[in-house]
Amino acid sequence: MTTVAETLRAQRGALTPGELRVAQALLADYPSAGLQPAARLAGGAGVSTPTVVRLVAKLGFGGYADLQEQLRAELSARSAGPVQLYPATRSADSVLGRFEQTVVAGLQQTLRDTDPVEFDRAVALLADHDRRILIAGGRVSTALASYLCRYLRLIRPLVRLVETDPSSRALALLDVDPGQTVVVFDYRRYDAGTVSFGRSARERGADVVLFTDPYLSPLSASATVLLTSYVAGPPPFVSLIAATALVEALALAVIEATGGSAVRERLEAFDSLSVEQ
């Protein structure tokens, strides 16, 4: 299912200024903002109710009620966990076949749908050696945070992984200030502590690069850069394979933006130090 958020982001270049304000209001409190009456959404965006109606039609919905029906379905899907996703019957198809069908499609769509402007903004932030970088994730997505951290520490200095416990997050926030980049991974079901950490970092002036899924973490409204990945996998679990591919693509782009000789010298120094140990 293509989410309303994805459709909004894909069509934002074709929106009028008023429609764009409605889209921004929707994404700032997604999907809850779209579940209120159209007049209230319009008032919050500073536009007329007909502007909301025109945007809804432009997105391909028959009416505002149809938009709300999809948003309610998304709200239910984003909170679904392994228990809700557990299949009622065992599939006769092979696990490998089902895995290939689901994950490959998600990987292809993730790479195809990634906004190149957002991707380039993330690369610029991570390739800037004057910026300190903090990387954080949730209970499961901390594995992706650690993976990206290992890549970046080989490429450039001033990169640090933030552990998931509240004390480590609080200590990391003590030193967050403008001119710093904070990378956060948060996928459904979203982690309240991770969202709070990202919001606090943004409030302290940091640029936040958020990796999330198409249903959008609540942190999305505070993110400087938003990179989404499809996480669908054979039930009952989601898959982070597409997200991992996006991390690797980002690391490659940062290497190329940093410059081959600089990265080569750093890698050679790392190899030399490793041999000495």
DSSP label at 159? E
Please list the alpha-helical segments (H only) found in the chain.
4-11, 17-28, 38-45, 49-58, 64-78, 82-85, 95-113, 116-127, 142-155, 166-174, 192-203, 241-258, 260-276
* 182 contacts 194 by C-beta, under 8 angstroms: no
204 burial via Cβ count (<10 Å: 0-12, 13-18, 19+): middle
- Res 148: pLDDT: 98
- Res 84: pLDDT: 47
pLDDT digit of tens for each residue in the chain (277 aa)?
688 988 888 888 888 999 999 998 898 888 889 999 898 999 999 998 889 999 999 999 999 999 999 998 888 777 655 544 445 555 667 888 888 888 898 899 899 988 898 999 999 999 999 999 999 999 999 999 999 999 999 999 999 999 999 999 999 999 999 999 999 999 988 899 999 999 999 999 999 999 999 888 889 888 999 999 988 777 767 889 999 999 999 999 999 998 767 788 888 888 888 876 6
Distances from the Cα of 80 to the Cαs of 37, 86, 235, 236, in angstroms? 26, 10, 11, 10
Instruction: List the chain domain ranges.
Output: 4-78, 106-276
Tell me: domain 4-78, CATH 2.40.240.20, correct?
A: no
Fold for domain 106-276?
Rossmann fold (3.40.50)
